[in-house]
Structure 1
Amino acid sequence: MILARAQAPAAAEDPAETAAVKQVRRGYLGRDWSGCAQDGAALRAKYPDSARLQAWTILCDARAGGDALAQAEAMLAERPDDPWALFARAGALLDHPSRGKQEAIPAARAAMAALDEHPDAVWQLGRALIVHAPRVETLQFFGERGGATPDLLALELAFLIQSSEATEAQVLELAAKTRAADPTNVDADYAAAVWLMNRRRADQAGPLLVRALEHSPHATALHTQLWEALLQASDPAATGDGKATAVEAPLVRERDDDADPSPSWEALLQASRRGPEARRATLDAAVASLLRARPDSPGALKAAADVYETLAPELHAKYEAELLERFPDSRTAERLRNEQIYRLTRARHERQTKNTPDPAADALLAERIDTLLRERPPTLPPLRAELYMERYFLLKDDPKAAPELLLSTVQAWVEVEQRNFHILADAALALAERTPYKREAEAVLRRTMTQAEAMLREDRAQGFPQEIVDENANWFEGQLSSALGSVLLAQGRRDEAREPFARVQALTKKSPDAMVRLAAFAEAEGRIADAELLLVEGLALWRGEKSCEEALRGLYRRQHGSERGYARHRARLEDGARAQRRAQVLATALAEPKPLPPFSLPRLGDEELRSEALRGRVAVLNLWTTWCTPCVSEMPALQQLADAYAKDPDVAILTINAEPRTDELAAWLAEHEFDLEVLLGARWATDNGYNTLPTTLFLDREGQVVFSHEGASERLVEEFTWRIEALRDKNSPTRRPQVERPASG
């Protein structure tokens, strides 16, 4: 009987065998997956009949990126009546990139039943639910079983930190409860540290990570988090108040194993704050320690490469090359190859931005993508989707691209895409407009719409904030329905196109792409004035200037036979729409202004500024980072606005940089020739929920937030000026700056 087999071995277990199982299991739960996979393989030679040891070794291999499912299937074939074989298969499915979503939870339930609800099997079902089930189902599981064991407490903590609504008190309380139940539990500290790191609190996370490493000294995940915490916290400005928080740190302690002695967090932080050389020496020692302990771990090599990306590019390249040479078939290598492609595509984007095309570099990039897809296609669907998407971008910009190549790329892409459906819709439309494959384009687009609807349903089931899901639904509806209407229009099916375009027209927010497609439909129906109004409205949307300008110019040319008089025509259209747009902008004022969360933030390279110092003036606070593309794109206009108000005592234009590390920020600003006033407030931004970038706050003289604008602005100078002038005190002296209006021709 299966249940009897699950229970019987416990009484006759060899203590040494039990210790072996505990060692591998402890390595898994300590996030040292590469280490426990190696340890398990070695221990299985001593205890070949231990099914539980074999099962936990397979779970370790699954997290380490090995072919765990094949091992589990072989174990099940060899031990068809052993419930631990079911446990191994469930664990392998849980982390399987394509089969996990559909099969992991049923497999985990079957293993739990076969093992008579053994604690290991209950824990595994909980993890399967966290990874693959709707949030409400996982909440029910923890409501019924939470806290039964220290491992379940740690699992519940890992689940809690995924919630955007989790509070610091909840996270730290559950972490303390887990630690009290099992002082050696790694996730009691690691999960809480991750939550703190995500909120720019490296100074608080660091001691927890050091303590976690006391219990799992070779876990790559713990080391990489500690290195990042060290880099963040050694930049005092990035903590938000310019000071490190006083925390209780673990003391240096010698070990009985082969791990290096662990310095306390305070010792690490003090060493790294002595200067760049000391910081580099601290990291060098930490990286060397990990590589000594895990010389055969692809993950350890990847971690070493990542930490040196900006600190030491030569070491970054060395470790990446070693990883690809020694572990070419690992999933870590798969991800690295995609990252290398991404770097090339990013360089291509920069060339496009600077208008310095390099056809030879583009051809080389296309060849590398094609070779990778042909010879080493990633096993993970999202990685393959990234490659097909980048291949599409290259084909889109190549007027000589073969229609058959565009078709095969888009059809292969739709098979594996999971989130970038708006770009896939653009690709389907390009296929319909540029090739004979119009029906195939429609099929791709309709499948894309079905997949997008499934994604949104899953987001709702996972408990994502309703406003975020609704905003995403609005975005995808606009992009996909307008693309469908345009694909139908390209086939001459105008009557059928009317329904998807009507859905788009009813949306409150539309993208520039949707406006262009709506305008094309209006033109097809002879509604030229409507088409012009749509395009003029689109001009003021973020990234609308280029696409809507091109469409408006083309419409004028088709109506008048040339572009003569176009500039005046566009100016008249914009003048007519400006008053309405101004009213719409000012109507976004909060019905009940909110006080600005107080701050005391260091200026870049200068003393601190307190929020109280802004009282009595109208203030504009723009939150940004250097890696936020829309933020950077709108900064020249923000600089223009700041210059216009530079001598106005009634107005303050400031920016708040939200990056956790700011040591290279001054050089970046100098390189881009920006002299905006920059406050350093990564923690302040996250603590107060400013997670969308860019975000711009407009304060009245009492320090109340009256306008809050999320996202970049195509007409920043004009629309920000409207808000600023609306906030001026009518009774105070004003000197309105002369702001140059952007050219409209």
Structure 2
Amino acid sequence: MRLTFAARRLLGRIRISGRPGGAGRWAGPVVILAIVCGCEDASAPPPHSAAELEAAKAQLRDHARLRTFEAGLPFGEEWVARVPDDGELRALYARQLAGWGLFRELHAQADRILSEDEDDPWGLYVRALAYLAEREYSAASEPSLGAWAASPRPEFLAAHIESIRARGAEHLLAFLGTLDSATLAAPEILAMRAEIASQARYELGDPTRADSSMASYAELRDRWPDHIDGYLRPAENLFRANRAEEALHLVERALARTPGSGDARSLHWRILAGSSLPAEQRRPAVEASMAEFVNAAPETARGLYAMAEAYRRLGDGVKAAELETRVVERAPHSLRATLIYQNEYLEAGDTMVRLYREEGHDSPAFRAQLKVVRDAVDRYLDRPIYANKYRARAYSILFEALNSMDPVPAEPLAEAVCGFATYERAYPVNAFGIGAAAMADHTPYAREAAEIARSGLQTVVDAVSMDRHLFRTEGEFEEQLRFQLSQVYDAMGWGYFKAGRAEDGRHVLERALALEGRNREARYHIGQVYEHFAMQEREPGEADVAARWLDRAEDHYIAGLANARRGENPNQAAIEALCERREGGRAGIEEYLATLGQRDRLRRRERILEARVEATGTYEPFQLARLDGSLVDSAELEGKIAVLHFWGTWCGPCVVEMPEYQKFDLRYRDDPHVRVLSISNDASRDVVEEYLQRNNFDFEVLVDDGYVQRAGVAGWPTTWFVDRAGYIRFVQRGSTMKLDEEFTWRVEALHEASDGRP
């Protein structure tokens, strides 16, 4: 009954804002237009002529093409109030709502159109826009395809292509191959072709696709110079590739055509704040652009929020807060207000993570911050949140804080896990795996925790499948799917065991390990189950059976020790306790553990050396600048073993392993046969220099100029180990707990393979 009470408390805190039902209709009551506008007025709309209506539709199309959604939204509101029964007009107004990301209001517009005709292509198009704004891409596929089949308009097709982006570049390119030349030449489809080429550049590992993408954007600008996507999308790609000057040129060309576009201005401010301008010139440049925007566009919550974000990037929290206050006063129930409400708990959560990294789990500052996070999340959850999907991250951070408390508060943790599992869809394994396992550990609701985990299996499959296009091979996709499912089965099995269903728990945990043998938590949990079975063998003649259970537990703990990751490994304490239990004391434990450590090193080294790549190519040549501006040419690496480490200060796993990387760099700094280079993907040299100085690091850093994109590096950190002939022989993707040791093994292996050379 206590969980039912907790669940009721949880539901009582949630203000239902509605979710699309199974048939695509809204399941809950929604107040839509009263929030954004007042367009369903009871008074008679003013008269209009057919010519005026067509002119209004043309103007709404212009607003979409120029991305002037700040002006387009109120203009569309006015016309929908005057002509409420024109589906095309509502759809063009909906495009303005999509520019604001207002998926609730988009669903309401779709409902209104489809209430008259459930197959109306404009209504289906708006439904697709709603799902796309909500990032429910697979749900957008059917209505967008239906709209295009009923009326082959390019905007309908563009929505459908966006909905199937997750199916991968090969699927998208094949789909484009089915379209006729006239359709492919439409501006909306030309923009999508450019996006697909950029996507294919990474997924297919073909750098020439980047040129194809830029060529398509150039064609879009030449043929439709007022189609602003032809400027902003390539500018975004250039800026991400650290080609800020080229990006700035494109955005300024766009602003000459659309000075009142919040999208163009936001990108302009981002580039200026992170550009090569001297630091003292960045704020004046941003504020001059802001003044132009204020003169060109009506004041809206969207525009105020964008300016507040720009001030935060400039480090002026006071000015940002002033603008955010105006947003909340203007529209307290709006999407932008919700994003502002998030800031408090997100900042509290960031501080919690920083204190953990810097001071550790037991520091008073970290312990105090846990309550700060809890209070900030509670305040957020009591606010008028735009939509329930914006609760997911709050519950995630709340769970992290509660799970770190000592003691863990059982009832609040159960509520947090329930909320986490209810709303988390971006990376649901955290809720249905880690969250459910913690609930089984720290609350009396182990059975319910197991059911939460079981209910999330399909959700996890769907989430990983949505990202299928991000994996280079089917094998990598399968590996990630097995890894995540293993975590969920682990939580389910542990919940069953803690609820008194030991045999059920055993079978489910064995399934978790069959999916992923490196799951150290599952190793620990099944070891605990085997120790439990050993305790059940109480009769004198059953001593051998009990010993066999303990042997099996010990084997799992040892295997769990071999799977080193960051964070405390429960198998370490478990094997020490088991050793002490079996030997009647701690004598000899240290020697025994030392042998386990050596076995772990041998296993890891064997696994790493087995991953040597034999059939591979050379890497993309480069000329990259150091932080002081001097150049390093990849030709300097000829005849040497090279280690190229791709990282960024924005990358959490990169930052965590940097002390180990510093040790590794020092190891080979004076070796004439080895060259260790790091390539930073940060947008600003200032950020890197400040980071190095703050942490007393002095390893060599090269500045990315788009090389990362050209070379096909798609994840951080990534490290290449290159032999003397210039061939990549080892690749480390992601961080590693023992970087210095494991990187050294790779370098020494390349030394040994150098035909007797030193």
Normalising by the smaller structure, the TM-score range is: 0.7 to 0.9
Cα offset for 1:581? 2.9
- 1:342 paired residue among 343, 346, 351: 346
Match of 1:5 in 2: none
Residues 594-650 of structure 1: CA distance to partner in whole angstroms, max 9, x if unpaired? 323222111222521112222333332222111222212211122222233333333
Match of 2:22 in 1: none
- Structure-1 separation of matches of 2:587 and 2:297: 70
Cα offset for 1:215? 3.2
**Cα pair distance change 1:587/1:92, threshold 3 Å:** closer
**Cα pair distance change 1:370/1:474, threshold 3 Å:** same
Gaps of 5+ in 2: 1-47, 534-547
SS at match of 2:184: coil
Cα offset for 1:418? 0.8
Cα offset for 1:348? 0.8
Quick one: percent identity of the two aligned structures?
A: 25
Match of 1:327 in 2: 331
Cα offset for 1:344? 0.8
Residue 206 (structure 1) aligned with residue 206 (structure 2) = no
Match of 2:719 in 1: 696
Cα offset for 1:676? 1.4
TM-score normalised by length of structure 1: 0.81
Match of 1:407 in 2: 414
Match of 2:701 in 1: 678
- 1:317 paired residue among 321, 327, 335: 321
Residues 351-400 of structure 1: CA distance to partner in whole angstroms, max 9, x if unpaired? 1221333344322321221232233344051x211111112112212244
Match of 1:493 in 2: 501
**Cα pair distance change 1:458/1:713, threshold 3 Å:** closer
Decide whether the 8 Å contact of 2:660 with 2:739 is kept in 1: yes
Decide whether the 8 Å contact of 1:512 with 1:544 is kept in 2: no
**Cα pair distance change 1:489/1:74, threshold 3 Å:** closer
Match of 1:266 in 2: none
Cα offset for 1:570? 1.3
SS at match of 1:206: helix
**Cα pair distance change 1:732/1:144, threshold 3 Å:** closer
Match of 1:117 in 2: 151
Q: How does 1:150-165 map to 2 (within 5 A)?
A: 150-163=187-200, 164-165=202-203
**Cα pair distance change 1:44/1:347, threshold 3 Å:** same
Q: How does 1:57-456 map to 2 (within 5 A)?
A: 57-66=93-102, 68-69=105-106, 72=109, 75-76=112-113, 86=123, 90=127, 93-95=130-132, 97=134, 102=139, 104-105=140-141, 107-108=143-144, 117=151, 119=153, 123-131=155-163, 135=167, 136=171, 140=175, 143-144=178-179, 146-147=183-184, 149-163=186-200, 164-165=202-203, 167-232=209-274, 234-235=275-276, 272=277, 275-313=278-316, 314-353=318-357, 354-355=359-360, 356-358=363-365, 359-381=367-389, 383-424=390-431, 425-456=433-464
- 1:656 paired residue among 679, 685, 689: 679
SS at match of 1:655: strand
- Structure-2 separation of matches of 1:606 and 1:182: 39
Decide whether the 8 Å contact of 2:161 with 2:192 is kept in 1: no
Decide whether the 8 Å contact of 2:348 with 2:373 is kept in 1: yes
**Cα pair distance change 1:692/1:461, threshold 3 Å:** closer
Segment drifting more, 389-398 vs 486-495: 486-495
Segment drifting more, 542-551 vs 700-709: 542-551
Residue 605 (structure 1) aligned with residue 605 (structure 2) = no
Decide whether the 8 Å contact of 1:126 with 1:141 is kept in 2: no
Cα offset for 1:143? 2.8
SS at match of 2:685: coil
- Structure-1 separation of matches of 2:675 and 2:196: 42
SS at match of 2:333: coil
SS at match of 1:309: helix
SS at match of 1:594: coil
**CA-atom RMSD, angstroms?**
3.5
Give the letter aligned to residue 319 of structure 2. L
Residues 632-685 of structure 1: CA distance to partner in whole angstroms, max 9, x if unpaired? 221112222223333333333332212122222112111111111212225212
Give the letter aligned to residue 349 of structure 1. V
SS at match of 2:596: helix
**Cα pair distance change 1:47/1:438, threshold 3 Å:** closer
Cα offset for 1:312? 3.2
Residues 462-497 of structure 1: CA distance to partner in whole angstroms, max 9, x if unpaired? 998635522321321331222223223323434334
- Structure-2 separation of matches of 1:278 and 1:474: 51
Cα offset for 1:231? 4.4
Give the letter aligned to residue 123 of structure 1. E
- Structure-2 separation of matches of 1:106 and 1:642: 53
Residues 563-611 of structure 1: CA distance to partner in whole angstroms, max 9, x if unpaired? 5543332112112343343222222211135323222111222521112
Decide whether the 8 Å contact of 1:692 with 1:710 is kept in 2: yes
Match of 1:247 in 2: none
Cα offset for 1:78? 9.6
- 1:706 paired residue among 729, 737, 750: 729
- Structure-1 separation of matches of 2:713 and 2:328: 39
Give the letter aligned to residue 510 of structure 1. R
Decide whether the 8 Å contact of 1:631 with 1:712 is kept in 2: yes
Match of 2:60 in 1: 24
Segment drifting more, 508-517 vs 409-418: 508-517
Match of 1:669 in 2: 692
Match of 2:591 in 1: 568
**Cα pair distance change 1:589/1:94, threshold 3 Å:** closer
Decide whether the 8 Å contact of 1:157 with 1:188 is kept in 2: no
Aligned residues: 678
Give the letter aligned to residue 477 of structure 1. L
Residues 400-441 of structure 1: CA distance to partner in whole angstroms, max 9, x if unpaired? 444333223222322222132332212211222222212211
Decide whether the 8 Å contact of 2:497 with 2:506 is kept in 1: no
- Structure-1 separation of matches of 2:629 and 2:219: 42
- Structure-2 separation of matches of 1:94 and 1:718: 48
Residue 638 (structure 1) aligned with residue 642 (structure 2) = no
Match of 1:263 in 2: none
TM-score normalised by length of structure 2: 0.80
Cα offset for 1:199? 3.4
**Cα pair distance change 1:579/1:85, threshold 3 Å:** closer
**Cα pair distance change 1:594/1:564, threshold 3 Å:** farther
Cα offset for 1:688? 0.7
Residues 33-60 of structure 1: CA distance to partner in whole angstroms, max 9, x if unpaired? 2221022234567777866444422331
Segment drifting more, 479-488 vs 463-472: 463-472
- Structure-2 separation of matches of 1:653 and 1:533: 39
- Structure-2 separation of matches of 1:547 and 1:495: 22
